[in-house]
Amino acid sequence: MPAHSGLQDNGKSEDSDLRENEEVEGSYTAEEHFNQGRTYLVQGNEVKASEAFDMAVSIDKSFSARVPDEYYIAGLILIKDPRKSNIGIHYLNKYLSDKPDKGKELAAIFYEEGFKMVVMNKFMAHVILENAMKLNPLYENDEQFYLAYSVRSANKAADMIKGGELFIRRFPQSIHIPEVMYLTGDAYFEMRKIPEARDYFKKVKDRFPDSEWGKKGARRL
């Protein structure tokens, strides 16, 4: 009998703990729920963040207006991390859906972060720069932007060839032409298209013999 009584006591204790936890969660203020949502958002857990934000709004509807800014802040943090920059892009675009007048502002952010990302993750850099150009098509005429977008963020040889040849046609007088010609030749070489590779190496050697890239091209012939 005493053992049986002990089991009943344990059961009551567990039930009591559950009720207590529910009461604690139910006693959170709107601000506390909102802060939880902010933390989840920066962690990249949008599902949990949405649940916490919804709880805050259910208590105080004024918190609804604050949610888009939290997506913006978290997006700015996560876009810098090559492992989470895709989540950052998603957050910033979600912010834009609520604030459509912020397109040009976000385009400039994508531009800057895309440039920084090139040295860390070329694929993500290209994705970020692509978002920038969607928001501001005039970037297509920006030589530095197009160099990063079409050449320096190329993740595969085929992309490098396509981007390099587009850059050469679009900006034939650019100071970056020697570099782009050499890199295009190198991409052809990587794809085992030797005649095309030699053609680019010869062109950069003949046109820019004293440049770093001209000398590199000469060594590849």
Cβ neighbour number for residue 197 with a 10 Å cutoff: 22
Same domain (yes/no): 219, 173? yes
Both structure tokens of 120? 């860390």
Same domain (yes/no): 81, 53? yes
Q: Which one of 89, 111, 141 terminates a domain?
A: 141
Decide if 119 contacts 137 (C-beta within 8 A).
Answer: no
Confidence (pLDDT) at 8: 43
Q: State the residue range of the domain holding 44.
A: 28-98
Confidence (pLDDT) at 5: 43
Give a yes or no: residue 7 inside a domain.
no
At residue 201, what is the residue type? F
Cβ neighbour number for residue 51 with a 10 Å cutoff: 15
Q: What secondary structure, in 3-state letters, does 60-93 show?
A: CHHHHHHHHHHHHHHHHHHCCCCCCHHHHHHHHH
Decide if 218 contacts 212 (C-beta within 8 A).
Answer: no
Residue 175 DSSP symbol:
T
What does pTM read for this prediction?
Answer: 0.82
Confidence (pLDDT) at 26: 54
Which regions in the chain score pLDDT beneath 50?
A: 1-12, 14-24
Same domain (yes/no): 80, 105? no
Give a yes or no: residue 124 inside a domain.
yes
Give the side-chain half-sphere CA count within 13 A for 105: 10
Decide if 167 contacts 146 (C-beta within 8 A).
Answer: yes
Give a yes or no: residue 71 inside a domain.
yes
Tokens 């000469």 locate to 218
Give a yes or no: residue 199 inside a domain.
yes
Give a yes or no: residue 193 inside a domain.
yes
Write phi, then psi, for 208 (nearest 5 degrees): -135, 60
Same domain (yes/no): 170, 202? yes
How many structural domains does the chain have? Answer: 3
> What are 45-83's pLDDT values in tens digits?
999 999 999 999 999 999 999 999 999 999 999 999 999
Query: End-to-end CA distance of the chain, in Å?
Result: 95
Confidence (pLDDT) at 3: 46
Both structure tokens of 179? 């570099």
User: How far, in Å, CA of 101 to CA of 53, rounded?
Assistant: 24
What region does 123 belong to: left with phi over 0, alpha with psi -120 to 50, or beta?
alpha
Same domain (yes/no): 167, 195? yes
Both structure tokens of 135? 């928001």
